[in-house]
A and B are shown apart, each in its own frame.
Chain A
Amino acid sequence: MSTLDIFWQQLANGLILGSFYSMVALGYTMVYGIIKLLNFAHGDIYMVGGFVGLIVLSLLSPFLGAGWAGILVAMIISMILVGLLGVLIQRIAYVPMLSAPRLSILITALAVSMVLYNFVMSMTSGEYKAFPVDLGYEGLEFGNVFITYTQIILVSSTATLMLVLHLFISKTMYGKAMRAIAIDQDACRLMGINVKTIIAMTFFVGSALACAAGVMAGVYYGSIHFFMGFLIGLKAFTAAVIGGIGSIPGAVLGGLILGLLEAFGTQLPFIGSEWKDVFAFGILILLLLFKPTGLLGKTEIERM
């Protein structure tokens, strides 16, 4: 393969990886933007999303087969289910803690993450579970660069979901309310916005997106595992910070940048693929040190 071929191949790989990161990063950034909570359990919601998708898909596949139609229906059903799970978690664990010190709510989020993760671990006995899909390996070939149809469909579905989210946030009343709450919660309450419902809705949307990413990861990699949420949770957070936490276009941009950096980073002569996570975290730390507001974030003025 020539250098140019490697470039295009890594570009494709990076975009796919990046679109997964973006989808999960969106949930982080939306929740952070609205209640300033770093939802540590978000990576685990992605993982649970993968498993819910697996269950729904196995129930549906006798009727719809193991192709794209079944995956689409299963994905929509599991997005709704996991969205509701997100709302449930918010009601049980985060609502009572909103007035508590910052440290307590962060630790509560960690506890939620532990519950989800240990639950799935004991249900699956810690084993990898194969995704019941059969999509084949056909694809398009551009010279030496090979892109499967699965990859194309996955990237375009994430793009579609993000477009829908963008329209939802920018064009509907609910989206407007979300943006308003991120700016000033108390003023929103005075203006008659039902703040509680909107916050719950944010959790619903964020969790549903994470679930979609989880199902897609299952489809793409062919198997899922209870531990898969941890690393992607951390990476998606990195992505959200790169883009500027609280900013929705920032999360998408940050995810893509991180995906591309990782894909190309493994090609550098002194960084092998075993160093790729070190590379990603190194970027996160450097970024937080030198530009904590990220690429598209706003500077926060701290009042005393």
Chain B
Amino acid sequence: MLEKNKIKLNNIYALLVVVVLAMPLVANNYVLNTFSDVWFYVIVCLGLNIVVGYAGLLDLGYAAFFAVGAYTTAILTTTFGMNFWMTIPFAMLFAAISGVIIGGPTLRLRSDYLAIVTLGFGEIVRLTARNLEITGGASGIYGIERPFFFGIEMNGSIHFYYAFLMLAFLAIFVSFRLQYSRLGRAWQYVREDEDAAEAMGINRVRVKLSAYVIGAVLGGVAGSFFAVKMTAISPETFMFTQSILILLGVVIGGMGKIPGVVCGAFILVLFPEIFRFVGDMRLLAFAVIMLIIMLKRPQGLWPSRLG
């Protein structure tokens, strides 16, 4: 019975993959752009899910990592004339470094203090980007060149649709592999009971720090692609509300479970699009629905069984 269900579920997943791959054949630009956003949020939500869902560390400044990736690519391509693809390793490196800087000293703190510190760091990164010259100050960096992929200039919605889709698949694969790895089990153990985990010989600080760094790298890569898709970035893109939005995506779907987080990313992007007709009130409607979901299903719509 269980085996049969699993085959059924796999069929559904396979069908979904075919649908998303074939979508650009029939969809118009608006739909493609919206879905590129969905895949983008799938990537960042999965990145944050590693920190919040797997390791149980509340991070309210995730947009900072995403900003580091985006600014690294933007600065390296515009100021230093580097090829976009060459900037990705740098974006990953700098995101990882910022993960260590933020995570390293703060991981000893209790959960609510950690939340505030990450929030403070997120704001510091944004304000620094706003005040420095190399990051273009308040107006940000514009005129970021579109990359070439085997001779094709990536300038259409369809190119970024596939780019973000592939990254999303990659993020799902990485999350899936991590979840059942030795490290993934250690994260979940630390999340459930930190002291017991430590007593079992898990190095608490190292395990948490690796969650931060891996989450940061995913965010950084997403940021790089975001920068070339938008061709312009400004500090206001990385506001606190952005971090909160990503966090809500993780939470409403169900922390710690990949299908839940993917579903959360869909709600995050599609809900405001579908409710466009309510105009100004759509964000309010969105906020109210978030609140109701939190009150009625604090574990999320599709929770992890372990939670």
Residues of chain A whose beta carbon lies under 8 Å from any beta carbon of chain B: 38, 92-93, 96-97, 100-104, 106-108, 110-112, 114-115, 117-119, 121-122, 125, 230, 234, 237-238, 241, 274-275, 277-278, 281-282, 284-285, 288-289, 292, 304
Contacts and interface: CB of A to CB of B under 8 A. Distances in A.
Given A110-B244, A122-B284, 20 more contacts: A38-B116, A96-B295, A97-B295, A103-B58, A108-B295, A108-B298, A110-B247, A111-B287, A115-B284, A115-B288, A122-B281, A234-B119, A238-B120, A241-B116, A281-B120, A281-B123, A284-B116, A288-B109, A288-B113, A288-B117
Contacts of A103: 52, 56, 58, 111, 255
Contacts of A115: 284, 287-288, 291
B267 interface: no
A282 B131 contact: no
A211 B283 CA distance: 24
Given A115-B287, A118-B287, A234-B119, A292 B109 contact: yes
Q: Helix, strand, loop or mixed for chain A's interface?
A: helix
Contacts of A96: 295
A277 B240 CA distance: 14
Interface in B69-115: 105-106, 109-113, 115
B232 interface: no
Interface in B263-303: 280-281, 283-284, 286-288, 290-291, 294-295, 298-299
Contacts of A284: 116-117, 120
B43 interface: no
A102 B288 CA distance: 21
Contacts of A304: 195
Contacts of B287: 111, 114-115, 117-119
B281 A237 contact: no
Interface in B240-267: 240, 244, 247-248, 251, 255
B127 A278 contact: yes
B31 interface: no
16 contacts: A38-B115, A96-B295, A107-B247, A107-B248, A111-B291, A114-B290, A114-B291, A115-B287, A115-B291, A234-B119, A234-B120, A274-B130, A275-B127, A281-B123, A284-B117, A304-B195
B128 interface: yes
Interface in B123-176: 123-124, 127-128, 130-131
A102 to B, nearest CB: 6
Contacts of B130: 274
A205 B247 CA distance: 30
B112 A289 contact: no
